[in-house]
Chains A and B, each alone.
Chain A
């Protein structure tokens, strides 16, 4: 498989034109996943090797059990590595890092300079940013579930997910299922999706982050026309695209995300709604997958959780990417950029 992916990417690099594209568009979902994962791993390795001579930075840790200074490797050590020095509890419970009291940093993103570090959990006094990161992660993983859950005969093209809005009651992923024009999921199918999700969280996988150039991102998502279309607008500002990898699944997100899938506790995929496109958009319909989740360790009465799931079954009125009610053109770009 790796060989094949390599040769594919090589041919792509050589040809650099649209002739090679149709062949890749025909990849099955599984093969596309493998290929993307392989490219991600290669790029990560390349970036690590590019660091070269290792320099040291000083990280001033603030928090439990006591403030201390850690000497870490520049561009290699992550906040997660700092947490490993502090103890298992920090490794498991910290979801997000706060640098210099202002910048929210992923747990698995290498530190670049001297800084002060705070580790944030879900039950701190002001958890807004952690909650947002959690909701974003849930959306991203919902995409991963949707790609894995269907049979090979059903092509799944992920579209995008809007920015996190917790008060709306559900996290979303908009997915294009071209071979299912009129699908209404049975409760059994929703259970299966939820089970898929729970399996993913039980594996306790770290969520890796990587900034890649626009060209590489386009090459990785060449089989997904929607993502390929969004990438230029995302990369417009910095020329970089932020990718996240969970297990074999790679997706685009602005970040930051939480540290580990094990930090997602109770979860339910509650409904799938059909979104119909406006007349001028080239995409006629999308499916909006919705779910609701709580962090690990949150104990909530089953009755209260039922209220949350019932509410998450209603259509979430976040702006639809194919039928934006207010603006017509810029909406798709902005939604993709926000996600």
Chain B
């Protein structure tokens, strides 16, 4: 029991990492796969939002997350981290972006650093799952228009009013019940009071 919990020693990613990697078939074998992913990770760090095939996006996302989390935990004076950054970022000016822009951005972040959406498919043609992969806190407008928490939206106004109505009805019911029990009680106490006099 004195053994350290291994999961606490290794930095943990905040995305789901599947037990097996995807092969992403390539004529150069595993090296070709890594080259593909390096390109994608570089593109993601450079453009901050990219649209691509779902399989490759999901695979590249894991490497990008790992890269950023390493950069945050070790900083730019750590040689192995620098080597990793040098390997994954094909354009070397992006190494500066990683340590000077992205690390400060995500230092206090308690969610994953990237976000992935399923993108719509082409109406006809080959059926391939598409995805949009983006860094959080990018300067572009948001992709989703989710404002369902806005209390002023018509549906929320209607539901609020319905809730209010329901509560009022319940309160009225409770008050009625209370009144009845009190009546009964007071009636009983009146009887009690009356009894001795009789």
Q: What residues make up the interface of A, taking CB atoms closer than 8 Å to B? A: 122-123, 125-128, 131, 134, 166-169, 292, 294-295, 298, 300, 304, 307-308, 311
Which residues of B lie under 8 Å from residue A292 when comparing CB positions?
158
Q: A166-B158, A169-B158, A307-B159 are in contact. Are A127 and B153 (CB under 8 A)?
A: yes
Given contacts A127-B150, A298-B155, A304-B159, 8 further A-B contacts (CB under 8 A): A122-B154, A125-B150, A166-B161, A167-B160, A167-B161, A169-B161, A294-B154, A298-B153
Report the bound CA distance from A9 to B175 in whole Å: 62
Partner of B147, one of A125, A168, A294, A308: A125
Would you call B182 an interface residue if the criterion is a C-beta within 8 Å of the partner chain's C-beta atoms?
no
Query: Do B165 and A169 touch across chains, with their CB atoms under 8 A apart?
Result: yes
23 A–B contacts, CB within 8 A, in A order: A122-B153, A122-B154, A123-B145, A123-B147, A123-B150, A123-B153, A125-B147, A127-B152, A127-B153, A127-B154, A128-B152, A131-B152, A166-B157, A167-B160, A168-B161, A169-B165, A292-B158, A294-B154, A298-B154, A298-B155, A307-B159, A307-B162, A308-B162
Give, as a whole number of angstroms, the nearest-CB distance from B158 to chain A. 5
Query: Do B162 and A311 touch across chains, with their CB atoms under 8 A apart?
Result: yes
Report the bound CA distance from A137 to B125 in whole Å: 42
Query: Do A311 and B165 touch across chains, with their CB atoms under 8 A apart?
Result: yes
Which residues of B lie under 8 Å from residue A307 when comparing CB positions?
159, 162
Interface residues of B: mostly helix, strand, loop or mixed?
Answer: helix
Interface residues on B, range: 10 to 19
Query: Do A169 and B154 touch across chains, with their CB atoms under 8 A apart?
Result: no
Which residues of A lie under 8 Å from residue B159 when comparing CB positions?
304, 307-308
Partner of B162, one of A127, A169, A298: A169
Give, as a whole number of angstroms, the nearest-CB distance from A87 to chain B. 15
